[in-house]
Structure 1
Amino acid sequence: MCSGCPEHWAARLALGMAALALLFLPVGANARELRVCADPNNMPFSNAAGQGFENRIVEIVAADLGAKLTYTWWAQRRGFVRNTLKAGLCDLVPGTPANLEMLRTTTPYYRSSYVFVTRQDGPDVASFNDPQLRAMRIGVQLIGDDGANSPPVQALGRRGIVGHLVGYPVYGDYSAPNPPARIVEAVATGEIDLAVVWGPLAGYFAQKQKVPLRITPVTPRIDGPQLPMIYDISMGVRREDDVLRGDVNSALARHKAEIDALLSQYGVPRLDGSGSPVR
């Protein structure tokens, strides 16, 4: 058989294509999967349409790791971690407070705080010690199905500011879209004079109101010895999953500028290491 004959080259080409096909088959079959658990109706953090900033950030992480992104959707109620990550339904939970004991958390990728939300033409309040609060209708977030008090409610209660509080459940009416938005909408419509809201939620929904709203991080940042208003936010994995934690940490670090720009786009009020607002 001559080495220059057309049939020789045709045979070599066929063998080469077959080898190439075998080379790529295992990659597709064994492609890495990034299994994420998230809430399907919890904007601006996540929703089933992938529109939340946590959705966008885990897309960045998955692309960096060369992994296929899959979701298990679960309402973020009490027992969320137990019923998802610890039950083996997923391997990564975005948007968890740093150093949460039941998880192993990544390096934080943003820091935010509770904020005061007022109309731009309304009173300017920056502290729980402001005497104006005693005469204002104040919207506060109630946590959990039992309406537990959030840190701002405890801070107001310590000062005896309880007579004009209006509670808005964090979960709200889950049959409607964006249930956490109601407290911010109430400020815009004048139903309440001021709201104390977790920063990312406040910043996102304030942008969507018909009247301009003012977002001001609360002070003091830590009220009393053990009542923080400021939190570092990380992603969580199972406590023994050092490999995934390390990979996600590296991806978050490599894409820090992109993630920061994304958080700004969603109106997330961020604080630096000293607690000052990030401009």
Structure 2
Amino acid sequence: MRLRNSYSVIPLVILLGLSTAAAATADGEFRVCADPNNLPFSNSAEAGFENKLAAMVAEDLGKQVQYTWWAQRRGFIRNTLKAGKCDVVMGVPSGYDLAETTKPYYRSSYVFVTRQDQHLDLSSLLDPRLHRLVIGVHLIGDDGNNPPPAQALGEQGIVDNVRGYSIYGDYRQADPPARLIEAVESGGIDVAAVWGPLAGYFAQRSAVPLTVTPIQDYKRFAPQQFQFAISMGVRKGDDALRDRLNAFIDGHRPEITSLLRSYGVPLVDRPVTASGGHE
């Protein structure tokens, strides 16, 4: 799962209102749409946390995971889920209006990543040092769309010291999004503002100790969002499969949380409003 603008890097998904739960049950397969080169989420070696989660779900359902591999960019959903080749995308924003989404199974945030030996301790988008530090951000899509941190920096006139790294990168290389974190590691940039699961995973594996800190004071930049709840997605109308996945999530939250933490995913609680409810 990646982010696109204030939503997902998964191309604009078009999910058909066709139920495939019966077919999936009949053939004993848990059919998953996934990217073969998109760690920490998924890869063809099934080493991503979405791969591990899919295996957990399949075991619970008494099925075998069957993958349809396709790069998560334009045409991903059209060539996989919409084409009927698979039934589940393991990570989509909760409430995504083109999908039937499950209950969220985690919530994460955009973060700052810095070298520990620089002792920057950044957490605020309003920190005056951001006007002089070299900042890296992911650019998304062929049109170079800006993610929420880049938008917020731009609103403050912080532009000339911002460097863009394509989230798609060179797909011939492993883990294209990692180039941004590697730039922090090498000292090519001072700080990266990046989606938490990406940051936490690659920082955890860095040869140089890195600090990962959730971005604070983001509400000032509304309607830009910096925290997202993530669910599994199925085709609209596939309530049976959605409900089975919801039951799995409810029954395995501790195991899911443990899995996410093992991959360095920064987890945040859902904000509570003054009235005691949730946003």
Name the TM tier (shorter chain).
Answer: 0.7 to 0.9
Equivalent residue number for residue 12 of structure 1: none
Deviations 1:36-68 (A, max 9, x none): 000000001000010000000011011111112
Contact 2:33–2:86 at 8 Å: present in 1 too? yes
Output one character per residue of 1:104-157: Cα deviation in whole Å (capped at 9) or x when no partner.
Answer: 110000000110000112211111100000000000110112221111110100
What is the one-letter code of the residue matched to 2:242?
A: R
* Alignment gaps of 5+ in structure 2: 1-24, 273-279
CA RMSD of aligned residues (A): 1.4
Q: Is the alpha carbon distance of 1:87 and 1:222 closer, same or farther for their aligned partners in structure 2, counting shifts above 3 Å?
A: farther
Residue type of the alignment partner of 1:114:
Y
Structure 1: distance between partners of 2:142 and 2:240: 35
- Partner Cα separation in structure 2 for residue 250 and residue 60 of structure 1: 13
The gaps in structure 1 that reach 5 residues or longer are: 1-28
1:157 aligns with 2:154: yes
Aligned residue identity for 2:85: L
Tell me by how many angstroms 1:208 deviates.
1.3
1:246 corresponds to 2:249? no
What SS does the aligned partner of 1:178 have? coil
Q: Which whole-Å CA distance do the structure 1 matches of 2:99 and 2:27 have between them?
A: 26
Q: What residue identity is the alignment partner of 2:130?
A: L
1:109 aligned residue: 105
Distance 1:166 1:225 in 2: 23
Is the counterpart of residue 80 in structure 1 residue 76 in structure 2? yes
User: Aligned match of 1:128 in 116, 125, 128?
Assistant: 125
Query: Alpha-carbon deviations, 1:212-251, whole Å to 9, x = none?
Result: 1110101223343310000000010001100000001111
Out of 53, 67, 76, the residue aligned to residue 49 of structure 2 is 53
1:149 match: secondary structure: coil
Distance 1:80 1:30, change over 3 A: closer
Give yes or no for contact 1:155–1:223 (8 Å, CA) kept in 2: no
- Could you say if the C-alpha distance between residues 52 and 101 of structure 1 is closer, same or farther in structure 2, counting changes exceeding 3 Å? same
Q: Do the aligned residues in 2 keep the contact of 1:119 with 1:213 (CA within 8 Å)? A: yes
Counting only pairs closer than 5 Å after superposition, residues 219-230 of structure 1 correspond to structure 2 as 219-230=216-227
Return the match for 1:179 from 159, 169, 176. 176
Calculate the TM-score normalised by the size of structure 2.
0.86
| Offset of residue 210 of structure 1 | 1.4
Matched with 2:165 is 168
How far the C-alpha of 1:32 sits from its partner, in A, is 2.4
Letter in 2 for 1:138: I
Task: Quote the residue 1:266 is aligned against.
Answer: 263
Instruction: Judge conservation of contact 1:112–1:200 (CA < 8 Å) in 2.
Output: yes
Partner of 1:65 in structure 2?
Answer: 61
Q: What secondary structure sits across from 1:89 in the alignment?
A: coil
How far did residue 252 of structure 1 move? 1.6
1:205 is displaced (CA, Å) by 0.3
